[in-house]
Amino acid sequence: MQTWLTEHAQIDVPVISAPMGGVAGGALARAVSAAGALGMVGAGPGTDPDWIARELDVVASAGRPFGVGLLGWAVTDVDAVLAVLAPARPVLVSVSYGGELSDWVAGLHDAGITVATQVGTLDDARDADAIGVDLLVVRGAEAGGHGRNQVATLPLLQAVLDDVDTPVVAAGGIGTARGVAAVVAAGAAGAWVGTAFATCREAATAAPAREALLAAGLEDTVYTRVFDLAQGAGWPAEFGGRALTNAVTRTWAGREQELEARPPALTALADQVAKARADGDVAFAPVWAGQAVGLVERPRTAAELVAELARADALLRRAAGL
């Protein structure tokens, strides 16, 4: 299947494995790229440029195109990160969620790197388009991890495709070949898949989180800022996150303002979440995941998942009567 993404990035399968801090290191990205899709390394909050350089060495060893995803709000020294990225020559760099996107675009373009950003509303898409971003990642509310919660993937995808000419990939809720086929048929250049890759063997997902992900169903996630409040994580307030429901979300999701107004309760929750993270106790620790978690039933290698997603080609041919 050929799309703008496969041609531009020189890959075989129009799928990008999402950058996921703490989950998508060089090993996962390498396996995805080696399988013919585009593997992304995810730099989470507090990542130092040396870590990025090391992980990029790992992914580059596949000899295939790869990318890197950064959190705009979390990068304090843009020049230091650009200095690591330019010689590593990723084909794609995404900068999402805050910071000054325009600070990145010129520097990345100077290095010959394509720039992407995740957008959660039509206004986000128009703003990114005006700044000169090359690839819009249209990310709906059903997606895992952080982002906006305003609009679901399909309505947002339709609106953005009708509104801007910049290439688009779709993100949020895509976990099988059917999802890839749907968004490519609609006009997207490919799919940006996070949650499904988080369960792959090469992901840095800890064992208890992986078990919880594999056991979870379509209805077992919730969008909340509770974990960010508890961890003092520094996320801009407009970007909450979708995680597996657990004891913490059952008590506090939807009551974030009340939690913020009650410092003793917040301190107690912060201690509880910190201990749970250290102990790998998923009843109280965040496990970031989107609704597509309900589509994943067994652990696979990244190559197995890429092969499954690549079946979108056959689905599209069948739909076209070919």
Ligand X SMILES: Cc1cc2nc3c(=O)[nH]c(=O)nc-3n(C[C@H](O)[C@H](O)[C@H](O)COP(=O)(O)O)c2cc1C
Contacts with ligand X by CB under 6 A lie at: 18-21, 23, 42, 44, 69, 71, 94, 96, 118, 139, 143-145, 147, 171-174, 192-195, 198, 288-290, 292
Other C-beta atoms closer than 10 Å to the C-beta of 311 total: 15
Q: Closest separation between CB of residue 263 and ligand X, Å?
A: 28
Looking at beta carbons only, is 105 or 292 nearer to ligand X?
A: 292
Looking at beta carbons only, is 39 or 194 nearer to ligand X?
A: 194
Looking at beta carbons only, is 160 or 289 nearer to ligand X?
A: 289
Looking at beta carbons only, is 21 or 25 nearer to ligand X?
A: 21
Looking at beta carbons only, is 71 or 136 nearer to ligand X?
A: 71
Q: Closest separation between CB of residue 162 and ligand X, Å?
A: 22
Enclosing H/E stretch for 104 = helix 101-110
Looking at beta carbons only, is 206 or 265 nearer to ligand X?
A: 206
Q: Closest separation between CB of residue 242 and ligand X, Å?
A: 8
Cβ atoms of 157 and 170 within 8 Å: the answer is: yes
Looking at beta carbons only, is 39 or 144 nearer to ligand X?
A: 144
- DSSP 8-state assignment for residue 268: H
Q: Closest separation between CB of residue 258 and ligand X, Å?
A: 26
Question: How many whole angstroms separate alpha carbon 275 and alpha carbon 102?
Answer: 39
State whether residue 226 is helix, strand or coil: helix
Looking only at Cα atoms, what is the longest distance across the chain? 64
Question: How many whole angstroms separate alpha carbon 238 and alpha carbon 231?
Answer: 16
Question: How many whole angstroms separate alpha carbon 214 and alpha carbon 126?
Answer: 37
Question: How many whole angstroms separate alpha carbon 302 and alpha carbon 205?
Answer: 13
Cβ-closest residue to ligand X? 194
Enumerate residues 6+ apart whose C-beta is below 8 A from 132. 102, 105, 109, 115
Residue 264: phi and psi, rounded to 5, are: -65, -40
Looking at beta carbons only, is 104 or 288 nearer to ligand X?
A: 288
Q: Closest separation between CB of residue 260 and ligand X, Å?
A: 23
Q: Closest separation between CB of residue 271 and ligand X, Å?
A: 23
Other C-beta atoms closer than 10 Å to the C-beta of 12 total: 17
- Between 177-186 and 302-310, two packed helices, what is the crossing angle to 10 degrees? 50
Q: Closest separation between CB of residue 167 and ligand X, Å?
A: 17
Q: Closest separation between CB of residue 63 and ligand X, Å?
A: 25
Q: Give one word for 73, left, alpha or beta, with left for phi > 0 and alpha for psi -120 to 50.
A: alpha
Rg (CA), the chain: 19
Residue type for position 81: V
